Amino acid sequence: MTDLMDRFARKARPDEPELASPDEPSWNVPGSGAADRGAPSSRGPGGRTPRSSDSGGDGDEFATSPEFQEIKGRLHRKLLEGLNLALLGQRNRDEAEEEVAALVRRLLAQENTPLNLGEREQVVEQLVHEIFGLGPLEPLLKDPSISDILVNRHDQVYIERDGKLVPTDIKFKNDRHLLQVIDRIVSAVGRRIDDSSPMVDARLEDGSRVNAIIPPLALDGPHISIRKFRQDILSAEDLLRNETLTEAMLEFVQAAVKARLNILISGGTGSGKTTFLNMLSESIPHTERIVTIEDSAELQLRQPHVVRLETRPPNIEGEGAVGQRQLVINSLRMRPDRIIVGEVRGAEALDMLQAMNTGHDGSLTTLHANAPRDALARLETMIQMAGLSFGEAAMRRQVASAIDLVIHLSRHSDGRRRVVSVAEIVGMEGEVITMQDIFRFERRGLDPEGRVVGAFRASGIRPRAAEQLQSVGIDLEETLFTDLRSGSR
Ligand SMILES: Nc1ncnc2c1ncn2[C@@H]1O[C@H](COP(=O)(O)OP(=O)(O)OP(=O)(O)O)[C@@H](O)[C@H]1O
Ligand SMILES: [Mg+2]
């Protein structure tokens, strides 16, 4: 018998945190592990009361039944009484999970309620998630087809799948249960969430980015937003295949990276900026030294010579924070060939632009904006955050001379991400920065299935940057900028 089972007889410490009090029905997870709804079935297994629940499939039906919740609650209580969670936490997670699962199976065997194998395994799985993981979120975290998880309330969880937001029937038992899961997430990264610090950014073990916000700031109860970390980052081929951009556009932007143009990737939330930045950075030669600066490390560069820096939030006493600006300044002393800032948000924009203007060409960054022009306006606002008194014209000149290309992405209503504009900054006209589109996506409308109809087009203008490209030996065909046969629908 294993250590864990031996220890089962021992009492848990009285101050042991209880993840979810097991006395009420807690949450249900569709048997498929995902949140899809099947056709409701009226059959109640083993003569149990049939439910008219809206979750589909036999497994789902069982998972929402009072019997299931009752058994699970009872076993959960027994587990919490008997397990030493602190000791468990020190074990190899896979082994510990296996042992708890074996334990639950043994306890189940002693139950009077007749359960079939599938039902037993559902109880085992949910209890293991409750003890070790993030409870109801676990199946969503494991499902690779889900990119975002948005918990609006304890009983309302949305996911993003294939670029679209859809509701699930995943539920937490109550606000307290949800708060316990949040607490688990934030305490794992040495932070806390409470009245005095009701907003927290954190990262899960697998790299997923998490934001949690609780009352009084969140009016309807605790809230979590999770951007899942994708191990299989989208490659240039993937983006061509799913028509994020065309071959001609790709060829140009990759050449721009090689020729050390300074590139700003802009777009709305979740429009694919980080993904695009990752893909673009593949074109940086392996001989160059790259320094990356991020709030939450998401970039996955494959080059050998990379230094990754991440900001640090303040500690529990509110001290020790290290922001992006400090990291950008520090990075300049690290002899970088390229600086990549995951997302510019504030005063670091000034230092980044100054670096671009003083020999650190080839820098890449993303910025949250709804249009390429907005991106430039936002950069100006960020420069002002640095607290220096810049005249407007001086500020614009700084932007215009630092940034060479603005690549703007959109997430369209059909769930697809597209590069809607690749624009070059060509200088200033009076007080206005002049930009010209080299490529753009022209949207014509929606087809009957709700898909966006449109086409990528070259503007026909040969970019001024073509000369800079030539100077490093990249001679792009003239037709690239005039002819876009590879344009999509
Ligand atoms: N071109 C694309 N095609 C298909 N899926 C994509 C594409 N770009 C991004 N995605 C997916 O969309 C989600 C959001 O992508 P990403 O994190 O790159 O967006 P973002 O604009 O950086 O978001 P945020 O504003 O939150 O930082 C991810 O799950 C990613 O895998
Ligand atoms: Mg991003």
* Same domain assignment for residues 102 and 250: no
What is the layout of strands, in order, in the sheet containing 146-153?
164-167, 156-161, 146-153, 223-227, 209-213, 199-203
Per-residue pLDDT band for 6 (boundaries 50, 70, 90) equals very low
* Same domain assignment for residues 287 and 327: yes
Which of 266, 417, 452 to mutate to test ligand 1, by most ligand atoms within 8 A of the CB atom?
417
The answer to whether position 187 is within a domain reads yes
Closest-lying ligand 1 atom to the alpha carbon of residue 418? 1
What is the layout of strands, in order, in the sheet containing 432-446?
306-310, 290-294, 338-341, 364-368, 263-267, 405-411, 417-429, 432-446, 452-458
Q: Which of 103, 132, 161 marks a domain boundary? A: 132
Ligand 1 site, residue 410, Cβ cutoff 6 A: no
Q: Over the stretch 196-243, which tens digit does the pLDDT of each residue have?
A: 889 998 888 888 999 999 999 999 999 999 999 888 889 999 999 999
Nearest to 273 by CA among 308, 310, 299, 243: 299
The answer to whether position 488 is within a domain reads no
Cα of 266 vs centre of ligand 2, distance in Å, is: 10
Cα of 167 vs centre of ligand 2, distance in Å, is: 23
Question: In 282-421, which ranges are continuous DSSP H helix?
Answer: 324-331, 348-357, 372-385, 392-402
Q: With 0-12 CB in 10 A as exposed, 13-18 as middle and 19+ as buried, what is 330? A: middle
Q: Which of 84, 108, 132 marks a domain boundary? A: 132
Ligand 1 site, residue 486, Cβ cutoff 6 A: no
The answer to whether position 486 is within a domain reads no
Q: Which of 132, 158, 179 marks a domain boundary? A: 132
* Same domain assignment for residues 151 and 279: no
The answer to whether position 196 is within a domain reads yes
Q: How far apart are CA 349 and CA 325, in angstroms?
A: 8
Strands (E), 214-299: 223-227, 263-267, 290-294
**Dihedral through CA 175, CA 176, CA 182, CA 183, nearest 10?**
160
CATH number of the domain at 195, please.
3.30.450.370
Q: What is the DSSP letter of 17?
A: -
Which of 245, 250, 274 to mutate to test ligand 1, by most ligand atoms within 8 A of the CB atom?
274
Q: Is the pTM of this model over 0.75?
A: yes
The answer to whether position 489 is within a domain reads no
Q: Report cis status (omega within 30 of 0) of the bond before 463.
A: no
Q: Which residue has the tokens 């299931």?
A: 68
* Same domain assignment for residues 243 and 371: yes
Residue 114 CB neighbour total at 10 angstroms: 10
Q: How far apart are CA 271 and CA 451, in angstroms?
A: 17
* Same domain assignment for residues 304 and 397: yes
Q: Over the stretch 257-312, which tens digit does the pLDDT of each residue have?
A: 999 999 999 999 999 999 999 999 999 999 999 999 998 889 999 899 999 999 98
338 within 8 A of 364, measured Cβ to Cβ? yes
DSSP strand pairing (223-227 vs 263-267): unpaired
* Same domain assignment for residues 209 and 324: no
* Same domain assignment for residues 382 and 272: yes
* Same domain assignment for residues 32 and 160: no
Tally of domains in the chain: 3
The answer to whether position 286 is within a domain reads yes
CA 472 vs. chain centroid, Å, equals 36
- Domain range for 125 is 1-132
* Same domain assignment for residues 40 and 172: no
* Same domain assignment for residues 10 and 156: no
* Same domain assignment for residues 192 and 60: no
Cα of 275 vs centre of ligand 1, distance in Å, is: 5
Q: Over the stretch 166-194, which tens digit does the pLDDT of each residue have?
A: 999 898 888 988 998 998 888 888 788 98
* Same domain assignment for residues 470 and 393: yes
298 within 8 A of 342, measured Cβ to Cβ? yes
Local structure of 198: helix, strand or coil: coil
Residue 455 vs residue 472, higher pLDDT: 455
Q: Over the stretch 23-79, which tens digit does the pLDDT of each residue have?
A: 333 333 233 333 333 333 333 333 333 333 333 344 466 666 777 778 888 888 888
318: left (phi over 0), alpha (psi -120 to 50) or beta: left
CATH number of the domain at 271, please.
3.40.50.300
Closest-lying ligand 1 atom to the alpha carbon of residue 233? 31
The answer to whether position 406 is within a domain reads yes
Ligand 1 site, residue 296, Cβ cutoff 6 A: no
The residues near 196 (Cβ < 8 Å, ≥ 6 apart) are: none
Measured distance between the N- and C-terminal CA atoms of the chain, rounded to whole angstroms? 63
Q: What is the DSSP letter of 288?
A: S
The answer to whether position 487 is within a domain reads no
